[in-house]
Amino acid sequence: MRRLLVLGAGTAGTMVVNKLRRRLARAEWQITVVEPSDTHYYQPGYLFLPFGAYGPEQVVKPTAPLITDGVDLVRGEVDRVAAAENRVLLADGRSLPYDYLVIATGVTPRPDQTPGMLDGGQWRRSIFDFYTYDGALALAKALDAFEGGRLVVHITDMPIKCPVAPLEFVFLADAYFRSRGMRDRVELVYATPLPGAFTKPIAAARLGSMLDDRKITVEPDFLVERIEDTTLVSYDEREIPFDLLVTVPLNMGADYVARSGLGNELNLVPVDRHTMLAKAYDNIFALGDANDVPTSKAGSVAHFAVDVFADNFVEYTAGKPMTGSFDGHANCFVESGDGKALLIDFNYDTEPLPGSYPVPAVGPFRLLDEAAVNHWGKLAFRWMYWNLLLPGRPIPLPAHMSMAGKHLPRSEE
Amino acid sequence: MPVTTIAGRDVHVDDEGFLTVYDEWDPDLARQLAAQIGLDLTDEHFKALTFLRADYVTQGETATLRRVSALGGIPTKELFSLFPKKPAKKMAYIAGLPKPHGCV
């Protein structure tokens, strides 16, 4: 019996086991997934919780029913991977041997990594995050009670999960305060370590002008060193005082990755960017946010990468070369407020471009342009996530990015 | 790929002036590149540049500030004082490496 062991039953890990269970013969392969939580969270929904647009029940389901029959679900916390011995040790002392290992334990917000964030007395009083379930719900109460002042939306450092979410948050906050008739009493500031609203030039220009239109002040190149009471202080001694801070703490891979000697400085597993095979071991893959590939940390990326990986894995374990090559494809709806959204679609080599995005039956969506159809696409995605994506059923979105519908702006001087 | 003349020799650069050929760099060129953005290089600067260039050989991409601080042993605060305002970009420029692609 050959053994595939998957660490983490989040978006990537769940898709991996559900897809591969269908592809790998039950008589030959045992598939096990290790997960400490008995709850699966629909993380894209966290964005809507603070504004009361989603209720808590819309973003949680029990983990076990999401894992297909024939996969062993082990409740437990990983202590470390003993890669030289091909086994994983759990915190409770159990030892799980493997022939192939998939690390899919993602990244976690780490407010403890910035002095004054978690330990300065303001955490969950005037400092909130929305990348955790508890944080998003606590922020909902804080927003409800907010009477005005300076609200700062802040990114600690890149990379982060869903890099457009802080922008979406500030767009939704603008719409939210307008709907409450108090926008003139709220100063919105967007503090980012990037030189602008986004990394890629065409999208950065478009999203930057949307921030200007909404009178949202951007504080670029702001790398926080510490928080002093209710002031963000950067490494170059710039200060941003706040009444309410919505921060995205440093995102790091799991600590066991570091303890096992498998991670980089952020506990991310270095992998080949086209096959997700770890650079250090030829029987370890890292999928989803847990790896170091230079594209967005996002569910769409996990989905496209797992599609490529599943075919590759069947070839690889049959002793053949892997013929699939992941192109860094990411596809993100960007909520812009008032029932509209943008869509961006890009990969390692092609930045987000304007145009249209054809999808049979439901499309086309509009790229880099605010439209209601994109907003409905984003809301519909929650159903697709639970019912198609996690079970590993086919979705009419090809894994590789396509240029169909995209407009390449004429290059400028 | 454009070619430009720095310190009396031809080097290959991209649209933004970042060197594109690893081996065209040397410390003299670094001093010239630094002067173009108003910096006078000291041993401390070279410690960071040396780490960056060595790390690039093994990683194939330009190190982030966090990596220079964690593995190169130079605190981020110091990097900001050595290469003010945009240390990651300035270090890469002077070290003759690609602009760090501020993760998407």
Instruction: State which residue of chain B sits closest to A163, comparing Cα positions.
Output: B104
| Cβ–Cβ gap A236/B71 under 8 Å | no
Of B1, B3, B57, B103, the catalytic one is B103
Residues A7 and A133 in one domain: no
The one-letter amino acid at A216: I
B75 interfacial to chain A (CB closer than 8 Å): no
Residues A196 and A226 in one domain: yes
Q: Is residue A358 part of a domain?
A: no
Which residue, chain included where needed, has tokens 């976690």? A108
| Residues of A with Cβ-Cβ distance to B75 under 8 angstroms | none
Q: Is residue A342 part of a domain?
A: no
Cβ pair A319, A297 in contact under 8 A: no
B21 interfacial to chain A (CB closer than 8 Å): no
Residues A115 and A183 in one domain: yes
| Cβ–Cβ gap A194/B102 under 8 Å | yes
Domain span at A176 = 111-250
At A413 the pLDDT is: 34
Return the domain boundaries, chain B.
27-95
pTM: predicted TM-score of the whole model, two decimal places:
0.94
> Which pair of tokens denotes residue B96?
């003759």
Residues A266 and A310 in one domain: yes
Residues A163 and A33 in one domain: no
Task: Say if residue B2's pLDDT is above 90.
Answer: no
Q: Is residue A235 part of a domain?
A: yes
Instruction: State which residue of chain A sits closest to B71, comparing Cα positions.
Output: A265
CATH code (residue A277):
3.50.50.60
Residues A118 and A240 in one domain: yes
Cβ pair A188, A215 in contact under 8 A: yes
B86 interfacial to chain A (CB closer than 8 Å): yes
Q: Is residue A398 part of a domain?
A: no
Q: How far is CA A302 from CA A94, A326, A379, in A?
A: 29, 11, 19
* Domain C-terminal end among A250, A284, A307: A250
The beta strands (E) that lie in B1-104 are given as 3-6, 9-12
Task: Sheet with A365-367: list strands edge to edge.
Answer: A330-337, A340-346, A365-367, A355-357
| Residues of A with Cβ-Cβ distance to B101 under 8 angstroms | 199, 294
Q: Catalytic annotation on B103? A: yes
HEC letters along A193-256: CCCCCCCCHHHHHHHHHHHHHCCCEEECCCCEEEEECCEEEECCCCEEECCEEEEECEEEECHH
| Cβ–Cβ gap B61/A296 under 8 Å | no
Task: Give the pLDDT of chain A (413 residues) as one tens digit per residue.
Answer: 999 999 999 999 999 999 999 999 999 999 999 999 999 999 999 999 999 988 888 999 999 999 999 999 999 999 999 999 999 999 999 999 999 999 999 999 999 999 999 999 999 999 999 999 999 999 999 999 999 999 999 999 999 999 999 999 999 999 999 999 999 999 999 999 999 888 788 999 999 999 999 999 999 999 999 999 999 999 999 999 999 999 999 999 999 999 999 999 999 999 999 999 999 999 999 999 999 999 999 999 999 999 999 999 999 999 999 999 999 999 999 999 999 999 999 999 999 999 999 887 777 899 999 999 999 999 989 999 999 999 999 887 889 999 989 998 764 43
- Gap between the Cα atoms of B29 and B35, Å rounded: 10
At A408 the pLDDT is: 81
| Cβ–Cβ gap B101/A294 under 8 Å | yes
Residues A27 and A48 in one domain: yes
A194 interfacial to chain B (CB closer than 8 Å): yes
Domains in chain A, number? 2
A157 interfacial to chain B (CB closer than 8 Å): yes
pLDDT-derived band of residue B1, with 50, 70 and 90 as boundaries? low
| Cβ–Cβ gap B104/A265 under 8 Å | no
| Cβ–Cβ gap B66/A266 under 8 Å | yes
Residues A92 and A123 in one domain: no
Distance of CA B5 to the CA centre of its chain: 18
Residues A179 and A159 in one domain: yes
Cβ pair A319, A333 in contact under 8 A: no
